Amino acid sequence: MPVFSTRAFNKHEQVVFCSDPLTGLRAIIAVHSTVLGPAVGGCRFWDYAAAHRNASLDVADVRAEEDAIFDVLRLSRGMSYKNAMAGLRLGGGKSVIIGDPKTIKTPELLQSFGRYIQRLGGSYYTAEDVGTKPQDMETIHGTTDYVVGLESGEFATGDPSPHTAKGVFTGIKAAVRHKLGRTDLNGLTVAIQGVGNVGRDVANHLRAAGAKIIITDIVQENIERVLASGEAEVVAGDKIHAVDADVFAPCALGGVLNAKTIPQIKAKIIAGAANNVLDDEVADDRELTKRGILYAPDYIINAGGIISVESEVHKEHLDDAARARKVAHIAETLTEVFEASDKQKQPTGKIANELAEKRIDDKRRALRSAAE
Ligand code: NAD
């Protein structure tokens, strides 16, 4: 199966395939770029074979591997773009452990994975992601120094979600200013899909700013928590993207903006925390622009968490005010993208990708000339 020639490979520096028959570990670590700093990105523990259960065993294994390779490369490149656009001294990477965490996750397997990270000598730092938990990071930390998002320790930055939520709120305000020409949110309606760790805080910030919120979640308890702290209209999950609102804030899943949902969206702005919201990175980006809907690129608006983690990688103490200033800068970055998009008549997602690549390429050239 091709790796170098896939679109997702896109200038990766290094891809490491890890196998340990003693613990059952099969993992891939992708380092997209270390130009701006050490590559940082979470470890996804995922049963890639589950989607191919109906195929014969051999075919299912091959397809699962293909999916894992595609996933890790795409996510790793995404981390490079996210960190570049947030102006961080961090590169982009990601790792996946292949298999069902419920059945194969053991401390021995996680420690074996940690040894592979350690061998990379600090070019890749891992963190929690889908299928891994804070305790798993502590276990991995037993065999490698290169873990962030830890709950304790001198430089630990703790839960990134409140910073992500603050960044999303700031980004919504920037998008409203650009698209609707308003400097406040008073009386505007925002539809939030998913009121978990990030969505709940976004809801609270919005209500405090005078916005009306419409929410949905598949977990009733999460809806109740939002209702307990103030007013909100609740709708069924499959209706939220289509409600009458000024802003749609996806804060749950990826792929929610697609050929089926986009024609039903009434909001003039899409600005939320969820990663990979565009089902088709090129076609959906273009379609939103065509329909006059302003899309705040996901990896720019949801960068508050990684902004908070940067100091942990560089072993620095960052006070709350400095961290808040960095998160607030998301508004300026988004405005730069919105203005370039208007000027060049190109979709915002495309503009963001080009700006991120330019930032990385410029630094790469500067490093090369300094070395010559
Ligand atoms: P979370 O799991 O705490 O919250 C997600 C919420 O979405 C949950 O309440 C869940 O029940 C709900 N949900 C799931 N499927 C749904 C559906 N079909 N319809 C409606 N609701 C649904 O996760 P989170 O940490 O709040 O993250 C939310 C999103 O933001 C994710 O896509 C995540 O990748 C992204 N993100 C989070 C952070 C962070 O700091 N936590 C940083 C960057 C990006």
In CATH, what number is assigned to the domain containing residue 191?
Answer: 3.40.50.720
What residue's CA is closest to ligand 1, atom 43?
302
221 and 280: one domain?
yes
CB atoms within 10 A of CB 120: 19
Q: Is the pLDDT of residue 106 over 80?
A: yes
In the prediction, which pLDDT does 60 show? 82
Out of 11, 82, 94, 133, the active site residue is: 94
In the prediction, which pLDDT does 234 show? 98
In the prediction, which pLDDT does 10 show? 82
Ligand 1: lining residues by beta carbon, under 6 Å? 160-161, 164, 193-199, 216-219, 222, 237, 251-253, 273-275, 302, 305
267 and 350: one domain?
yes
For residue 3, how far is its CA from the centre of ligand 1 (angstroms)?
30
- Site to probe by mutation for ligand 1, drawn from 163, 198, 243 as the one with most ligand atoms within 8 Å of Cβ, is 198
Sign of the torsion angle spanned by Cα atoms 22, 25, 31, 34: negative
Distance, in Å, from the CA atom of 152 to the CA atom of 157, rounded to the nearest integer, reads: 8
The better pLDDT of the pair 106, 11 is held by: 106
Strands in 251-288 per DSSP E: 269-270
CB atoms within 10 A of CB 334: 28
Chain segment 15-50, per-residue pLDDT in tens: 999 999 999 999 999 999 999 999 999 999 999 988
- Residue among 107, 109, 114, 26 nearest 72 (CA): 26
Question: Is 179 a residue of the active site?
Answer: no
For residue 332, how far is its CA from the centre of ligand 1 (angstroms)?
25
255 and 351: one domain?
yes
In a domain, 56, yes or no: yes
174 and 134: one domain?
no
What residue's CA is closest to ligand 1, atom 14?
252
Q: In angstroms, what CA-CA distances link 88 with 35, 95, 173, 176, 351?
A: 11, 20, 22, 25, 19
Kindly state the tokens that stand for 36.
């701006």
In the prediction, which pLDDT does 372 show? 85
